[in-house]
Structure 1
Amino acid sequence: MPQHPQAKIHRMFDLVEPIGTVTFSEVANEAFLAVGMRNYWDGYFAGRAAPLGTVPAEVVHAVFYNFADGEVARHIPWVWGKITPQEAIAVREQGSTAALRQMIGELAGTPALARAADLATRAAVSAPIEGRPLYAGLRALDVPEEPVARLWHAATLLREHRGDGHNAALLAHGIGGTEAHVLMAVSLGMRAEEFGRIHHLPQARLSAVIDGLRRRGLLDAAGTFTDAGRQTKQRIEALTDELAAPVYDALSADELDELIARLEPIAAAVRAFDS
């Protein structure tokens, strides 16, 4: 029986996501460009894959799950000729912390943020690592002492813990990585061809994925959800929340409520900065 209501687990996703994804902002990107990365995606793969070590592109592709064939190999292992995983981890932490500090302004130095970092970290380092390779890699890293860095690190752990579980949910429902992006686009009311993560794919490849979802009865002729498709997407999201829940068992109900309350202004500040 889950210790906390599913609604609160999903609320934590809403709050952790903007904090964790400052890693992919311009400030963090510039930190990677400064050490020799050619473009945004070099920095993305170097930073996010670094906890896995110098594994082949195939392993990163498998763990990240949702990139099209060949996309990872354009960057891994090339980046490891310019930077070591240990160096990438440091660059990522420094750039991400600088970005978060810039986005949240005066909140950075408050006791409320330090308390949020402490609670989030306690949860983030508490969950089993089995079946969660990216979360396990992050768990092996030292937790930063500085509060803003510690909050970002905890948010990244929580985000990747959930992400590993989401990949398991997709796999259990027979949904591949590109298919997952198509379903996400449809759930947002967009045509798949317009969705940022897959709009660059060759039209023939994307059409083949969409046609496959139609044959399975998940999309209709217009490319929108059938009832079965909508139900499948809902089941995946519900299972993702369920698999994310154990990481919060380290917190009491009151502590989780406190963490949510303390994260809300921080996440709101990040979203306001990006808007």
Structure 2
Amino acid sequence: MSHPEPVARRMYDLVEPIGLVPYFADEPDEALMSLGLRNPWDAYFAGRAAPFGRTAPPEVVHAVFYNFAPGEVARHLPQVWDRTTPEAALAARERGCVAAMRRILGALADDPAVARAGNLLLTAATSAPAEGRALYAALRALPVPKDPVARLWHAATLLREHRGDGHTVALLTEGVGGTEAHVLHALSVDMPAKEFGRVGHLPAAQLNAVIDGMRARGLVGTDGWLTAAGRATKARVEALTDRLAEAPYNALSPSELNRVVTDLELLSAAFRKVFPL
């Protein structure tokens, strides 16, 4: 059903802390690295790209992930599949995420809220159309975990990637490229692009060329910060991302939505205490 008020932004605030477990907690990287991978970025690409299998070329993964600089994906894929398999990577990623969630949640990991939230989020996460959402569709083809903590993480990951696929659409609609998306976000929170982790490692000339291109389009001013047009572009990207992320929650009744919000408020608070959100 369609809810009277948009819910995607509120749910993003509650689901995102769980969806970030693979990227902010140590256990998922440790589990993936134990498979013989070389470094945390091997672990990142093996874990996140595993739903596509070993035959997806780096160009396809680059296109789906969208916001990596040219050549970054190819430094890790398909080489990681010489060291492990997508199936082993998926299992290690889930195992590591569950271990991290149990550590962070403590006694809450066995609270009935985990099973309730996981089941309701899964209903939402598996209800949306998959057309045009490649990573979401690949994840939806995976088996659903039976363990309540694993199920909650799986549902949160589905919703995160569903939103992420829509975010890519929003960026494309506004003509914002992958590396530009990171610059746009960094500057929107008043952080110099060179200090933002996802692009700060790029050679200065490469990053400056991206910023110069945004300046030529009127998104960045001569002072290096977003112009009014740049901030308006960022606002339109976020608004469209929210609209495109609404569909899953239409599968929940108002009472179910209230129930999952209440449970997630309790659970997400634990992750916000340890993740730099």
TM, length-normalised to structure 2: 0.96
Partner of 2:207: 206
Q: Which residue of 1 aligns with 2:36?
A: 36
**SS of aligned partner of 1:249:** helix
Q: How does 1:60-209 map to 2 (within 5 A)?
A: 60-209=61-210
Partner AA of 1:23 in structure 2 = P
How far 1:273 moved relative to its partner?
2.7
Q: Deviations over 1:205-245 (max 9, x none)?
A: 11111011111111111111211111110000000000000
8 A contact 2:17–2:275 mirrored in 1: no
Say which is worse superposed, 152-161 or 87-96, in terms of deviation. Answer: 87-96
Q: Post-superposition shift, 1:257?
A: 1.8
Give the whole-Å Cα distance in 1 for the aligned partners of 2:35 and 2:228. 49
Displacement of 1:2 after TM fit?
5.0
RMSD of Structure 2 on Structure 1 (CA): 1.2
2:123 and 2:4 map into 1 onto residues whose CA distance is 16
Partners of 1:274 and 1:253 lie apart in 2 by: 30
Q: Is the CA contact (8 Å cut-off) linking 2:51 and 2:86 kept in structure 1?
A: yes
Aligned partner of 1:230 in structure 2 is: 231
Aligned residue pairs total 274
Residues 156-199 of structure 1, C-alpha deviations (whole Å, 9 max, x = no match): 00000000000010011100010000001001111111111000
Instruction: Give the percent of matched residue pairs that are identical in Structure 1 and Structure 2.
Output: 60
Counterpart amino acid of 1:262?
Answer: D
Task: Give 1:4 shift.
Answer: 4.9
Q: What letter corresponds to residue 240 of structure 2 in structure 1?
A: L
Letter aligned with residue 37 of structure 1:
L
Return 5+ residue gaps in structure 2 as ranges.
Answer: none
Tell me the amino acid that sits aligned with residue 120 of structure 2: L
Aligned pairs for 1:231-246 within 5 A: 231-246=232-247
Check if 1:3 corresponds to 2:3: yes
Equivalent AA in structure 2 for residue 17 of structure 1 = E
Instruction: Return the TM-score normalized by structure 1.
Output: 0.97
* Pairing 1:50–2:50 present: yes
User: Contact 1:4–1:245 (CA<8 Å) still a contact in 2?
Assistant: no
Check the 8 A contact 1:9/1:244 in 2, yes or no: yes
Distance, in Å, in 1 between the alignment partners of 2:110 and 2:197 is: 35
Cα deviation 1:231-265 (Å, max 9, x = unaligned):
11000000000000001110012211211111012
Give the conservation status (yes or no) of the 8 Å contact 1:45–1:75. Answer: yes
SS of corresponding position for 2:245: helix
Read off the aligned partner of 1:9 and give its amino acid letter. A
Say whether 1:20 aligns with 2:19: yes
Please give the alpha-carbon distance, in whole angstroms, between the structure 2 residues aligned to 1:213 and 1:4: 37
Asked if 2 retains the 8 angstrom alpha-carbon contact of 1:4 and 1:253, the reply is: no
Deviation by residue 1:71-112 (Cα, 9 ceiling, x = unmatched): 001100010011111111111111111111111111111111
Superposed CA offset, 1:106-137 (max 9, x none): 11111111111110010011110000000000
Q: Distance in 2 between matches of 1:20 and 1:224?
A: 30
- For 1:160, the aligned partner's letter is E
CA distance in 2 between partners of 1:191 and 1:234 (Å) = 19
CA distance in 1, matches of 2:189, 2:38: 32
Aligned mates of 2:210, 2:239 — CA distance in 1:
24
Separation of aligned partners in 2, 1:223 and 1:2: 42
Contact 1:28 1:95 in 2 (8 A): yes
User: Structure 1: which 5+ runs fail to align?
Assistant: none
What's the CA shift string for 1:55-86, capped at 9, x where partnerless?
01101100000000010011000100111111
Contact 2:182 2:198 in 1 (8 A): yes
